Structure 1
């Protein structure tokens, strides 16, 4: 099942470290099948406050996403971002192609006794 690394980042100023991070990141993802799905695009905020932007990377599965994040190659460049850009990073597993939210709603109704 496809998995995603999603970063909500709030960059303030560009510098050499951030540029090196951007230039190097793809090579850290390649061994794990990672590819950018969203990068360098402006977000269109529809509801609520949302400072910053999103970076989204797809991986073949959650194990690959975890292995990329824990890899020596990524951990080596990670401070180039974290020392200069505020933000959060999460890993999340996707849903299958035939996913139907009504099943999730039914399970939640059962758990909630509704």
Structure 2
């Protein structure tokens, strides 16, 4: 099942550390089959309020997403981002092509 590493960064201090992070991250993704699906951009907000940047990185499965995050290569550059941005980051699995909205009812909410 496809899994995603998602970050909602509410603030980013652009500078040399973030530039170094951006220059290095692609090489950390490649061994785990990771690729950017969404990388910032300005959303067309239809409801509610939005601020910050959304980053979504897709992986073939959750095990590879977790392995990427914990890898020595990514852990080496992680402080470059973490020390110069604020927000939430998490891993989550997607749904398969046959998923329907009502499937969530069978899961008990």
| 1:35-80 deviation line (CA, Å, top 9, x unaligned) | 0000131122222232201000000000000000000111110010
Distance 1:67 1:12 in 2: 25
Which residue does 2:63 correspond to in 1? 63
Indicate the structure (1 or 2) with the bigger Cα radius of gyration: 1
Query: Shift of residue 12 of structure 1?
Result: 4.1
Distance 1:103 1:14 in 2: 42
Count residues with an aligned counterpart.
109
SS at match of 1:11: strand
Distance 2:12 2:80 in 1: 14
Distance 1:33 1:78 in 2: 18
Query: Which structure's residues are more often strand, by fraction?
Result: 2
Which 5+ residue runs of structure 1 have no aligned equivalent? none
Which 5+ residue runs of structure 2 have no aligned equivalent? none
Q: Does 1:84 align with 2:101?
A: no
Query: Superposed, which structure 2 residues align to 1:15-34 within 5 Å?
Result: 15-34=15-34
Which residue does 2:2 correspond to in 1? 2
Pair 46,20 (structure 1): closer, same or farther in 2 beyond 3 Å: same
SS at match of 1:26: helix
TM-score for both structures, normalised by structure 1: 0.87
TM-score for both structures, normalised by structure 2: 0.91
